Chain A
Amino acid sequence: ELKVEQNPLFLSMQEGKNYTIYCNYSTTSDRLYWYRQDPGKSLESLFVLLSNGAVKQEGRLMASLDTKARLSTLHITAAVHDLSATYFCAVADTKLIFGTGTRLQVFP
């Protein structure tokens, strides 16, 4: 059964700092997704990672996938307040299963 774990669950970080969110999953899969959710809103797609070694970047966010380690990371560079949100990873085999989410708060 596919299980997806994220850590940390909560992250409070100062503006300008760097940090990484980790996503581990339990079965072989090469389809991993990162989403952002603002309070009271739906999910916004950030990255689609489809092969081992895939790396994608958008602004201050960079995501990578290591299918052999069953690990994806979401790296935040020089955080700004606008990045405050909850971030989810999700892994697909025949269905899409989500991690528990990381609530990110960026403060001045």
Chain B
Amino acid sequence: NAGVTQTPKFQVLKTGQSMTLQCAQDMNHEYMSWYRQDPGMGLRLIHYSVGAGITDQGEVPNGYNVSRSTTEDFPLRLLSAAPSQTSVYFCASSYFRQGRDYGYTFGSGTRLTVV
């Protein structure tokens, strides 16, 4: 049981490049989400998904796309990277069963620098 796996752990991009941050979980969690954390700040929600085929915007969705074709994977795409997207990105997953909340599991993070 690997939990929530994020790849890569570190990435440097040039302005205008595109890339995909990967997030996978092996716990059969319906809910998955992406956050960004800027230095000295809290986590801001980018996009989230409540199940395969269903996604929605969070607090700061501009510049990012997501899709959820399977329960296990929730990739985050940067179409044209900008220096303002330099941040640490966290993926999280969770599920609920019969009214019981099992909490949210976080990945180890991806540190992205856009130059």
Contact = CB atoms under 8 A, between A and B. Distances in A.
A79 B97 CA distance: 36
B107 A42 contact: yes
A43 B109 CA distance: 9
B33 to A, nearest CB: 7
A86 to B, nearest CB: 9
Contact of A45 (B35, B103, B109): B103
By DSSP majority rule, is chain B's interface helix, strand, loop, or mixed? strand
Given A95-B58, A98-B42, A42 B109 contact: yes
Contact of B41 (A33, A96, A101): A101
B59 A97 contact: yes
B107 A100 contact: no
A43 B50 contact: no
Given A95-B56, A95-B58, A42 B103 contact: no
Contact of B101 (A31, A43, A88): A31
A39 B101 CA distance: 27
B92 interface: yes
A90 B90 CA distance: 15
B45 interface: yes
Interface in B71-108: 90, 92, 94, 101, 103-108
Interface of A: 31, 33, 42-43, 45, 48, 50, 88, 90, 94-101
